[in-house]
Chain A
Amino acid sequence: MAEKLLEVNDLKVSFFTYAGEVQAVRGVSFHVNKGETLAIVGESGCGKSVTVHSLMRLIPSPPGKIKEGSIIFDGIDIISLSEKQMNEVRGSKMGMIFQDPMTSLNPTMTISQQIMEGIMRHKDVSKKEAFEEAIRILELVEIPNARKRANNYPHQFSGGMRQRVMIAIAIACNPMLLIADEPTTALDVTIQAQIIDLMKAIQKKMNTSIILITHDLGVVADIADRVNVMYAGEIVESGTLNEIFYDPYHPYTWGLLESVPRLDMAEDKPLVPIPGTPPDLLDPPKGCPFADRCKYAMVICKEQHPEMTSCSKTHKVSCWLTHPDAPKVERPLGGMKIE
């Protein structure tokens, strides 16, 4: 049995704006095991970033606030930590990679300074040792000529190289958990693959757990062990990679799988976007949030929120179609029926 590194329970995060309370994350629960990769997928604005930022308590406050729930990481209750204690965790036990490598590095500091900063914060080392360590990590993330380039500024690096530097910053103190929020979205396709390979290599070497947010199901297939599908601030389905890709239960997951290109799909199969738009998080519907856009919606879907149901030990879904009284529907992918 795999050991749990992170366990999130019923997490609720809101932003209090002048227009009202934006319920960005509405009660999500999931866990991450040691050494595994969890992918989080879902449409833009569904709360993926807010969820993972909450794990490191990086939600801007005000207006943001973690309203409810617990985050247990490596036995520590993250939410109850003081800001000072939290700073001991950030960067040393958890590292984070952001989407845009062009804007995520400080333009007025050299690469090595930016890596050394985290090392010197968390380890008791001299400046010189920290520099050597920074070089070692730059070599680890495969920056050619690391020693020479360490004193360059970010603008002297290409996008892919900068993302490697970002990874270097994130892993500088051997974190147990590496959170990557769309690490490849801003990069060229060929570079994307390199970055994913690099992350895999690092995971193997350091046995890190990874939470990866991406819109690219190809990347998910490449690296993830398990997948969370998020919609309108909730997790609507979660399971192993195979369960989500080959045995999905939630109509939203079906739509998602149909709307993005996948390598394992027949070439002539047309891509079908999901019609409609996600609900307003200022005033989320009381029933299933996907009901309005769901081909299979029933009367109940609009009235009552479906509960999380287990389909297997690892597979959970929140959909009324799994109710025994619900009509059997044809699944568009694979043509299997829901029992």
Chain B
Amino acid sequence: MGRYIGKRFLHSIFTLFIIATVTFILMNLMPGKPFTGEKPIPEEIRKNMEAKYGLDKPIHERYVIYMKNLLRGDLGMSMVHKHRSVGSIIKERFPISASLGLRALSFALIAGLFLGIIAAVNHGKTWDYVSMIIAVIGVSVPSFIIGGLLQYFVGVKLRLFPVTGWESFKHTVIPSFALGLGTLAVMARMMRTSMLDVLNQDYIKTAKAKGLPRRAVVWRHGIRNAILPVVTILGPLVAGITTGTFVVENIFAIPGLGQFLVSSVNQNDYTLIMGLTLFYSLILVTMNFIVDILYGIVDPRITLVERKE
């Protein structure tokens, strides 16, 4: 297990390194240099900045400086939001995004798994159809459309929940739902397929032949095995939720980090875009790492196979 974790860890570091390098190259391809954006910065500050980031030096030296800065956690200064470092923006806004994301994720995971299991256990019956209709709608309607429609019908017409802002629990309900629905749907479909597959396995017959009641067969033998393939898609699902926050925060005027990404894109705030790119990559790579380890724990076969390599 230790070796397996170590290997995965190196893998994650390597991925991050690649992303950082690609980002650096892209940054240097960008039309216009950092600090010479549309709104020119006072000459003095610019010189200072250029010295700090080594912009007056050749590209390979700049790369080294850039990497060193990254290692120290310095993502640079925003070009539009004067006198603010990317780091401080992240520090201030990320907790809100994280809170929204986690709410959506836990809602999606719990409800999605539940729906998937219900559907599989009642295969071909009413509940199967009900949960699959929910799931198909969930994957078919983009989160910003769900968000917009909910805002209109539930917020404006019915006045059940506030439509914008991020103050009380009530504010969090519609955004979390809009953000989580797609993930919920993917989760439910995946769990259903996986569960149906597992329920057809020979070892389920073995369990039944032991005289175990249906409940024990489904829970003890079915779910643990069925959840395995679902764990592997947790990484992409978290990625989906993360990108989802970009728009959902925008629609509901939630002062999170995602909003900054959208505005930085529209304002050509390159350093901020780059910094946020790296930051989001870090989150997702970390998430994938955690998922890999989780997988090693749930499936006893994984770590052994790795050892044989």
Measuring CB to CB, which residues of chain A are less than 8 angstroms from any residue of chain B? 56, 58, 62, 83-84, 86-92, 94-96, 98, 100, 103-109, 114, 117-118, 121-122, 153, 155-156, 166, 169-170
Contact = CB atoms under 8 A, between A and B. Distances in A.
A107 B304 CA distance: 13
Contact of B209 (A84, A88, A95, A108): A95
Contacts of B210: 90-91, 117-118, 121, 169
B211 A166 contact: no
Q: Which 6 A-B pairs have the closest CB atoms?
A: A91-B211, A90-B211, A118-B210, A91-B210, A103-B202, A96-B209
B247 to A, nearest CB: 38
Interface string B287-309: 00000000000111100100000
A143 to B, nearest CB: 17
Contacts of B206: 96, 98, 104-106, 114, 166, 169
Contacts of A90: 208-211
Interface of B: 124, 201-203, 205-214, 220-221, 224-225, 228, 298-301, 304
A261 B112 CA distance: 54
Contacts of B209: 56, 58, 90-91, 94-96, 170
A100 B220 CA distance: 21
B202 A104 contact: yes
Contacts of B224: 108
Given A62-B124, A87-B211, A96-B209, A153 B301 contact: yes
Given A153-B301, A155-B304, A104 B203 contact: yes
B225 A100 contact: no
15 contacts: A62-B124, A87-B212, A90-B209, A90-B210, A98-B202, A100-B202, A104-B206, A105-B206, A106-B206, A106-B221, A107-B299, A107-B300, A109-B221, A122-B211, A155-B304
A58 B212 CA distance: 12
Nearest to B224: A108
A155 B203 contact: no
Contact of B203 (A86, A92, A95, A105): A105
Given A98-B206, A169-B210, 14 more contacts: A56-B209, A84-B213, A88-B211, A89-B211, A90-B211, A94-B209, A104-B203, A106-B206, A107-B203, A107-B301, A108-B298, A121-B212, A122-B211, A155-B300
Nearest to A57: B208
Contacts of A122: 211
A58 B211 CA distance: 10
A86 B298 CA distance: 32
A94 B304 CA distance: 35
Nearest to B213: A87
A36 to B, nearest CB: 21
Nearest to A60: B200
B208 A58 contact: yes
A107 B124 CA distance: 27
Contacts of A62: 124
Contacts of B225: 106-108
Contacts of A108: 224-225, 228, 298-300
A88 to B, nearest CB: 7
Contacts of A83: 214
Nearest to B305: A155
Contact of B301 (A88, A103, A117, A155): A155
A240 B213 CA distance: 38
